Structure 1
Amino acid sequence: MTTRGKQTVRDLRRGSRSTLLRRLYFEGPLSRQELGTATGLSAGSISNVTGELLADGLIEECGSVDSDGGRPRILLRVVPDRAHLVGVDIGETQVRVGLFDLARTELAASDHPLDETGHDVGHVVDLITTGLTEVLARTGITAEEVLGVGVGVPGIVEQGAGPDAGDTAVVHGQTFDWNAVPLGRLLRARTPLPLFVDNGAKTLGQAEMWFGAGQGARNAVVALFGSGVGACVIADGARFRGATSSAGEWGHTKVHVGGRRCRCGSRGCLEAYVGAEALVERWADAPPGASEKAGLAALLAAAEAGRPGAVALLDEAAELLGAAIADLINLFNPERIVIGGWAGLMLGPRLLPAVRDAATAYALAFPRAQTTITLSRLGPDAVTLGAATLPLTHFLESGGELPRHATRAAG
C-alpha cells in the first residue's frame, strides 16, 4: 500500500519523462550529456528515459556534434509530426480553428464569421465542429493523431477537475449573455477528442510567455486588445487566476466613474474607451456599415492623414491605455507588459510611444523604471496558437502521455 503523499516509482518516472521532454521541446536539439547537465538527472536515468521516449516515437536522433576528444554526441529532439494540436479562438466577430504540429507550424486554419445570431451557443458549437472537420479534411490528419482541442473564450471559465476537466468547463461571458454555459459538455457531445477550455487572454499569455515577447520574464502582463480588452497576469512564472479564475478582467476596470456604458452593463470601463468596438463607435466619421476591422483601419488611416477628430480620439485612447498600464505596474510590478491582439497590433506602432509616455507619467517611478512595454511578436491570430498550448501543456506535463485513441492507433 502506497503512503499518502509519497511519490511512487511511476510518479518519479513520469516526472523524469516530463523534465526531459520539456527540455527537448523548448531548448532542443540537445545531447544526452547536455540533458544531464541541465536537469541534474543521472546518466543512467537519462539513458533509460530517452530510450523510452525514443521507443514511443516521441523523440528522435537528429545529427551529432563533436565532443572534446571523444565520440560525437548524438542530438535529440521532439518529433514534430508525432502528434498534432487544435486551437480554437472564439472571438468577438468570428470563430477560428487552427491545426498545428508539435513544432507549432500551422498546417490548416478555418475561419467562420459569426452571423446575425452572434454568440448563440449552439451556433458557436456548430462553427467549432465544422472548423475541426475542415482542418482535418484539408490535411488528411485523423482524429487519432490529435492530442486535444484547446478552446479560448472571451469570458470567465470555471475549470473542471481531473483528467477530463475540459468536459465540465463552464463559461460566464457577461458581454454576450453567456451565463454558466456548459461549453465543455456541449462540445463533448460533438467530438471524442480531449477538451481544454480557458479564457482567450490567458491562452494568449501562455503563448507569449513560451514563444513570444514574454520569453525570459517571470513576472509579466500580456494584454489582449480586440473588440474588447483582457489581460493575463503572470506571477513568478505562473498564470495568476484568482479565487474563481476571473483574474485579468482588466478591460472592466474603471477609467471614468459614471462614464460610457460598457458591453458588460457597467459604466466607465477601460474597454468602453479603448476596445476596437468602442473606438469605431466613438469616431464620428466611421464608414457606415463597415466591419469592425475595416472601421478601425479607416480610423488609423485618418489619423495618419492628420484628420483632427481621428488624431484626438487615438491620442485620448493612448493616454487612457497608458494610465491603465500604470495601474498594472503599480499593482503587479511586472518586468514586462506585452500588448497583443489584432487591434493592439494594428494600432500599436502608432500608439506605443504615447502609451509608454503616459505610463511613465501615471506610474510610480521606481516600478515603472523596471518595466518594459512592448508589442506581441506572435501576430494577430495568436489566441489560436495560445489555445493549442492547452493540450500541449498536458502532453508535456504528463511526460508525453498520448490519448487512449492515439495510443491504440500507434500500436
Structure 2
Amino acid sequence: MRVRSGRTVRDLRRENRSAVLQRLYFDGPLSRFSLGPATGLSSGSISNVVAELVAEGLVEEAGSVESAGGRPRTLLRVRPGSACMIGVDVGETRVRVELFDLALTELARVEKPLTVHGLRRVDRYDVGVVVGLVRDGIAEVVHRAGVDPGDLLGVGVGVPGIVAGSVEEGAVVHGQTIGWDGVPLERLLRESAALPASVPYFIDNGAKTLGQAEMWFGAGRGARSAVVVLFGSGVGACVVTDDLRSGRAVEWGHLTVRVRGRRCRCGALGCLEAYAGAEALLERWAEAGGHPPAGTDEEAALTAMLTAAYPDPGTGTGGEAAAGTGSEGAAGTGSEGAARGPDATALAVLEETAEYLGAGFSDLINLFQPERILVGGWAGLQLGTRFLDSVRTHAMSYALTHPAGRVTIDLGTLGPDAVTVGAAILPLTDFFAQGGRRGRPDAEEPAPAWQASLRERAAQ
C-alpha cells in the first residue's frame, strides 16, 4: 500500500523500526512509555515495533523502573550481541582492523604495519599490499572472535583521499597524496576478502569516519554543527551539521595558506598540510637545523620533537619517549636536559605551526560557522595537549568576530583510534536506515491498479 507522499506502508514500517532502534541505541534503556514521545510514534505503533524487534532478538529487556502510581515499567535496550561489524583504518603507518559488537565493545583487533623505512610514501601504499593487509586483518579478527562471517552487518573502511561512487566498481578512492588515482578499492576487497557476498563494504574518507564517531559518541555529542579535524601525517576535516547524519569530508589540508610556499605532498605549493601535517612538521624541524631521531616512525619522532621543545622539569625531557633516541638536537636526558631547557629550534617550528593551524581554523570558522571545532588523530592529540591554547588565540585573531565568538575549539575524546570506530559506524548507520533488516532487500510490492491502467492507455 502506498501513501500520498509516495512511500509505501513497508517504508513507514521500516522508518518506525529505525526510529525505535536509534532511540534505544543512543538513549536507552527506555520504557515503551518513554519511547512514544522520544520517537513521535503512537503507543500502538511502539508496541508493534517493539514486539517485532524482541522476536528478532535485536531488543531485550533491561530491568524496570517505578512508575507514578502504576506497575513498574519494563526497560528495553538494543541487545549488544545481536550483531557485529568491522572497522578498518588505512592509516599512515599501519592498517588497523577491529571487530565490534553493537555496543561498540571491541571483540578483536589486528594491526598490520605499513613498511616505512627506505620507501617513499607512495611505495608503502602499494594498492596490492594494502588490500592484502585489510584482507588478512579481516580474516584474523573474525577467526579470533569466533563469529560467523555471515552475521556481520558490514565492513567499514576509512581511507585517505576522496571517495567517489561507481556503479560498476563501487567505492573508488582518489588519494593524490598516496599515489592512488581512481583505485576501485571496494571491488578489490570483494574479490580478495573471504566474506560472503551478502556482507556489504562501506568505504569513506578517514576524517569523515572520525567526525561521525566524535559526533555520535565523543566531544561532538549534542552539537548542532561541528568541524572535526583529523591531524596525522597530513590533515583533513569533516563538516557535520546533524549529529545523527553523516558529515561531509573536506580537503582542508589543501587550502593554500602561503602563495608560492612549500611543496605539498599533493604536488601543489603552499598547502596547509605542507606546514601543519606531522610529516611536514618534522621536515621543517630538520630544515631549520634540528635533529629528528633517525630510525623511528613519525609517531615516535613527533614525540621526541615535543619532548625537546617542551621538556618536563620533573624528568628532564618529559618522559622516556625521547630518551635514548640519539638525537643531537633533543633536549638531552635527565638533569642535563632540564639544565638545557627547551630546544629553541623545535619550539620555534611548533610555534609557527600553531599559527598556521590557527589561520586554518579561522577559515573553517568563517566558512562553516560551527559550534565546535574538535581536534583528533594521533598527531592532533599529541600536539593539542601542548599548544591548543596558542592555536585558539591565533584562530580568534584571524577569524571574523561574530562566528569566532560562538565557537569552541577542543580535543576529541575518543582517542587516536577513533577512525576505526567511525569506520565501524558506517555499516551500523546502514543497519539503522534499514530498520534493523541487515540490508536484506524487501520484496517488491504490487503496483496500484491505476498504474497498470495508465500504462495500458499510454501503450495504445
Q: State the TM-score, normalized to the length of structure 1.
A: 0.93
Q: What is the match of residue 280 of structure 2? A: 278
Q: What is the match of residue 349 of structure 1? A: 385
* Change beyond 3 A, Cα 1:80–1:69: same
Maintained 8 Å contact 2:259/2:269:
yes
Question: Which structure is larger by alpha-carbon Rg, 1 or 2?
Answer: 2
Q: What is the match of residue 228 of structure 1? A: 234
Q: Residue 337 of structure 1: SS of its match in structure 2? A: strand
Q: What is the match of residue 28 of structure 1? A: 28
Maintained 8 Å contact 1:157/1:171:
yes
Q: What is the match of residue 224 of structure 2? A: 218
The alpha carbon displacement at 1:255 in A equals: 1.2
Show structure 1 runs of 5+ residues with no match.
242-246, 406-411
Identity %: 62
- C-alpha distance in 2 between matches for 1:136 and 1:236: 33
The alpha carbon displacement at 1:372 in A equals: 0.3
Aligned residue identity for 1:38: A
- C-alpha distance in 2 between matches for 1:320 and 1:50: 52
Q: Deviations over 1:257-306 (max 9, x none)?
A: 11111110001111111111111111121112221111100000001121
Aligned residue identity for 2:373: I
Q: What is the match of residue 118 of structure 1? A: 124
Q: What aligned pairs does 1:74-85 form with structure 2 within 5 A after superposition?
A: 74-85=74-85
* Change beyond 3 A, Cα 1:278–1:14: same
Does 1:338 find its partner at 2:340? no
Aligned residue identity for 1:91: G
Q: Say how many residue pairs are matched.
A: 396
- C-alpha distance in 2 between matches for 1:135 and 1:393: 21
Q: Residue 81 of structure 1: SS of its match in structure 2? A: helix
Q: What is the match of residue 267 of structure 1? A: 269
Q: Deviations over 1:155-214 (max 9, x none)?
A: 1000356xxx9x611000001111111001101112332100100000101111000011
Q: Deviations over 1:20-63 (max 9, x none)?
A: 00000000000000001211211111100000000000000010
Q: What is the match of residue 409 of structure 1? A: none
- C-alpha distance in 2 between matches for 1:151 and 1:206: 13
Q: Residue 169 of structure 1: SS of its match in structure 2? A: strand
- C-alpha distance in 2 between matches for 1:240 and 1:391: 15
- C-alpha distance in 1 between matches for 2:273 and 2:413: 23
Tell which deviates more after alignment, 24-33 or 359-368: 359-368
- C-alpha distance in 1 between matches for 2:355 and 2:160: 25
Q: What aligned pairs does 1:120-139 form with structure 2 within 5 A after superposition?
A: 120-139=126-145
Q: Deviations over 1:207-246 (max 9, x none)?
A: 11000011111111000000010000113554454xxxxx
Q: What is the match of residue 344 of structure 2? A: 308
Maintained 8 Å contact 1:232/1:239:
no
Q: What is the match of residue 374 of structure 1? A: 410
Show structure 2 runs of 5+ residues with no match.
312-341, 442-460
Note the aligned Cα RMSD (angstroms).
1.7
- C-alpha distance in 2 between matches for 1:126 and 1:398: 31
The alpha carbon displacement at 1:3 in A equals: 7.6
Q: Residue 124 of structure 2: SS of its match in structure 1? A: coil
Maintained 8 Å contact 2:231/2:377:
yes
Q: What aligned pairs does 1:128-167 form with structure 2 within 5 A after superposition?
A: 128-160=134-166
* Change beyond 3 A, Cα 1:240–1:206: closer
Maintained 8 Å contact 1:233/1:239:
no
The alpha carbon displacement at 1:403 in A equals: 5.0
Q: State the TM-score, normalized to the length of structure 2.
A: 0.84
Which of 183, 186, 189 is the matching residue for 1:184? 186
Q: Deviations over 1:292-335 (max 9, x none)?
A: 11110000000112110111111111111011101110111000
Q: What is the match of residue 244 of structure 1? A: none
Maintained 8 Å contact 1:89/1:387:
yes
Q: What is the match of residue 101 of structure 1? A: 101
